[in-house]
Amino acid sequence: MMIYPTLELQNGRCVTLERGRLDEPLIWHVDPLDIARSFAAAGAEWMHLSDFDAVVGQNSNAGLVEEIIRAAGIPVQLGGGFRSREQVEHWIDKGAGRIVIGTQAARDPDMVRELAKYHPDQIVLAVDVWHGQVMIEGWQTPSAILPETYLAAFEDAPLAAIIITDIDSDIAESEASLSVISGLAGLARAPVVARGTVHTADDISRLKYLPGISGTIISRALFTKAIDLSEALELAVPTPEQVADFR
């Protein structure tokens, strides 16, 4: 299972969100470039980068995002406010390894299917689920689309992955039952990356054995030091099953 250590940016600073609220970020006084480099140094193969200013249509972090892509030393999966084909292709040209599309996929699914066709292994669909509905606009607006229907609409698209967020679990920071994500993973054709379910190392140990889960995104737990990245990477490796030695 792939661990995606995550940086979330707002106003050029590393932040994490309390209860998913963009207007109440928890600011971490660290250098984003240093943190990105530390992910690679710990052994991560990918990192995830969310630009919260881009989510609300601002471009203030563009320069910093470019620096992180160049400096990280590992491929960057980039999300935040992608509203047009031109934006997606701009950041692919700038070196982003993958582009995550959420709200715009609900508004223009044909665009996402075409992008996935022309940029194989680089387009990721974000599916944010709350109370059984797909949420859009940074978790702010219910779309009235059932997640099962949403996944079916993209089943033939050659997506690199699908990020499924259990917003209920992420907000509550409870012991995740994983039932929402595991159920949807069984319907998805593309590899599923879980988000919002990992708060402790034990969550990784449970998650890695779920069928259809190829990875997980971890942000706040790394910054609060509830999880050590090196330990998380070790835990994510499947434990070999013992085989009887018949002689």
Give the residue numbers annotated as catalytic, written as ranges: 8, 128
CB under 8 Å to 232, separation ≥6 — which residues? Answer: 3, 5, 201, 204, 218, 222
Strands 98-101 and 123-130: parallel
Asked if 100 and 82 count as a contact pair (C-beta separation under 8 A), the reply is yes
Q: Please state the φ and ψ torsions of residue 7, each to the nearest 5 degrees.
A: -110, 135
**Residue in 55, 90, 43 with CA at minimum distance from that of residue 69:** 90
- Cβ neighbours for 44, distance < 8 A, ≥ 6 positions apart: 3, 4, 5, 74, 229, 233
- C-alpha 142/C-alpha 38 separation (Å) is 36
Reference 12, options 70, 87, 62, 77; nearest CA is: 62
Closest CA to 102 of 173, 154, 174: 154
Q: How far apart are CA 156 and CA 190, in angstroms?
A: 9
Distances from the Cα of 223 to the Cαs of 156, 214, 237, in angstroms? 37, 23, 22
